[in-house]
Chains A and B, each alone.
Chain A
Amino acid sequence: MVKGITFFKSKYKWYLPLLIVIIICIGVFTSINLYQNTIEKNKELLLERTKTISSFVEARDIDTLESNISDTEKPQYKDIKNHLQKALSESKDFRFLYLMTREGNETKFLIDSENEDSLDYSAPGDIYEDESVAIDEAFLGKASVEGPTKDTWGVWFSGLAPIVNQDNKVVAIFGIDVASDRYIKEALTEATIPLIITIFLVIILIVARYFQIKEEKTIEMRSKFVAIASHEIRSPLTGISWAIQSLEKENLGEETKALIKKVSINISNLIETINDILGITEVNTGDRTKDKSINLKTTLQEVIKDTELMRSKRFIDLEFGTDIPENQSVVADPEKMKQVFANILSNAIKYSKENSKINISFNSEKNSIIIKDSGVGIPKDEINKILSGFYRASNVKKDFNGSGLGLYYAKQIMEMYGGKIDIVSNLGKGTEIHLSFKK
């Protein structure tokens, strides 16, 4: 699932904690912001409601009140109290609505929304003893909201507005108390959402990284196994090969020599097959850690140089085209790409007639390298089978060295790097191998 996602690869492992820290910071910041915004929004709404409701209280009705127990009989008192209680019942947030007045430096209740038999009832004339900035400001003519503040009755958000007469004198103040945890709960609920999203994102990132690490470990294990297996297989084979070569030089009878020669050819074939299979197994480990940007022209030239001996033995000339671009590069494991070129070239040399030519050119439209030989060619109906592995064409003598795997390996590699192989061939005339690279 996370196979291709570059960001999680160990190469970039420091970006992930950085990203996580950034996400957490953004999450916490957004959370705090959302909390504060929700509270602010509610406070503003409360202020509006306070101003609106207070506008229905007439200053001249207030003037009739004396802030003592006799007020409770007055129709203005009862009227306003009804108003307050109605407004209270219509809101799910309001807890207390009240009117207060100030005499000297004492703040006294005029009317409140509680019934007389309630424990929280404040009778007219009861002194409000707690400190409140908003109450002070209201008496100075300014409406405001404060909270959360604590007083004798609990913790509140309070909206306070002045009630002024025609002379713009503040005769009383009107207040609404909302239980603080109403707003706080709402704010907390809002604020939790970004936190949840943050935690969710962080978990996803960590899990993805975990799977990536697991996959990398698996690939590493596979690679190590292939390396060890390769070594264990190649060493004794090389040892045997060397021993056989030494024997070939001994002075032995004709029949013995012939037998040793056959063993030698078989060992060579075996080594080549093992190399091809080990190569393919290595490709299949999925290990891409050796990939890097390589120059096609120089890589090709290196391999061509290695084939000098083989070519000269059969007097085969190599024409290296002038149209091959200097700066064309591809991202790949250099060893694997060299092996691809080596396999194609060695096939071309093996199946070419002596004294013939191999030509290498470039097709810029398809971004492909073309290796052309004038050898025995491949029957058309067998081209696909050869590319599918473990197959040598029927027109080729059995004691030619090599397995049929060279082209299969080349196909695997080209496709791994986003390219492809095409074969154009004419029996008896020659073969063209087109190696097309990803643009």
Chain B
Amino acid sequence: MKKIIIVEDDSLFAESLKQSFRDKDVETIFIDNGSDALKQIEAERPDALLLDIMIVGMSGIEIIDNLKSTNEELLKKTIMMTSMEQKDVLATVLEKGITIYIDKNSKTPEEITDEILNILN
């Protein structure tokens, strides 16, 4: 079974995502802070990554920087969750190799789940 790691520190979002992944054929690991995220990514070797742009303890950018040097393959299978106000951060993120991003405010948790599943296939 494929494995994905979801890094999201807002519990409301995390819960909603959990719900939408519930009946899907994929193993999900939820992490709510930056430093744990890096450790887990290292340990679990996920097939895809869903990453919020702003996380307590570490910004999404720092995680990406880290991934760039340790696991560049995973970057191609990473979806960045953004919000409209983070446009300048988004530009930086795109420069670093993220190709897929979704605006949290305009998509439903279902749609985000679908995107991740698309990537896994």
Contact = CB atoms under 8 A, between A and B. Distances in A.
Interface of A: 227-228, 230-231, 234-236, 238-243, 245-246, 249, 271
Contacts of B12: 236, 239-240, 242-243
Interface stretch (B26-34, B42-50, B56-64, B104-112): B104-112
Contacts of B19: 246, 249
A235 B83 contact: yes
Given A230-B84, A231-B85, A245-B110, A238 B15 contact: no
Interface string B75-105: 0000000011100000000000000000011
Given A227-B85, A236-B12, 6 more contacts: A231-B85, A234-B105, A235-B104, A238-B104, A239-B12, A245-B108
B83 A234 contact: yes
A243 B15 contact: yes
Contacts of B104: 235, 238
Among B15, B20, B85, chain A packs the most CB atoms within 10 A around the CB of B85
7 closest A-B pairs by CB:
A239-B12, A242-B16, A246-B19, A231-B85, A246-B16, A238-B105, A227-B85
A231 B89 CA distance: 14
Nearest to B12: A239
Given A234-B105, A235-B10, A246 B15 contact: yes
Nearest to B10: A239
A245 B13 CA distance: 11
A374 B19 CA distance: 41
A234 B84 CA distance: 9
A206 B20 CA distance: 60
Contacts of A246: 15-16, 19-20, 109
Interface of B: 10, 12-13, 15-17, 19-20, 83-85, 104-105, 108-110
B108 A230 contact: no
A316 B84 CA distance: 29
Contacts of A235: 10, 83, 104
A245 B84 CA distance: 21
A239 B108 CA distance: 10
A34 B19 CA distance: 86
A137 to B, nearest CB: 78
A242 B83 contact: no
Contacts of B105: 234, 238, 271
A6 B25 CA distance: 59
Contact of A243 (B16, B83, B84, B85): B16
B13 A239 contact: yes
A240 B13 CA distance: 8
A234 B20 CA distance: 21
Contacts of A239: 10, 12-13, 16
A271 B104 CA distance: 13
A175 B13 CA distance: 102
A425 B15 CA distance: 46
Contacts of B109: 242, 245-246
Contacts of B110: 245
9 contacts: A234-B84, A235-B104, A239-B12, A241-B108, A242-B12, A242-B13, A242-B109, A243-B16, A245-B109
Contacts of A236: 12
A245 B113 CA distance: 13
B16 A230 contact: no
B22 to A, nearest CB: 9
A245 B15 CA distance: 11
Nearest to B18: A246
Contacts of A227: 85
A354 to B, nearest CB: 23
Contacts of B20: 246, 249
A249 B21 CA distance: 12
A246 B85 CA distance: 25
Nearest to A226: B85
A246 B23 CA distance: 12
B84 to A, nearest CB: 7
Nearest to A232: B85
Contacts of A245: 16, 108-110
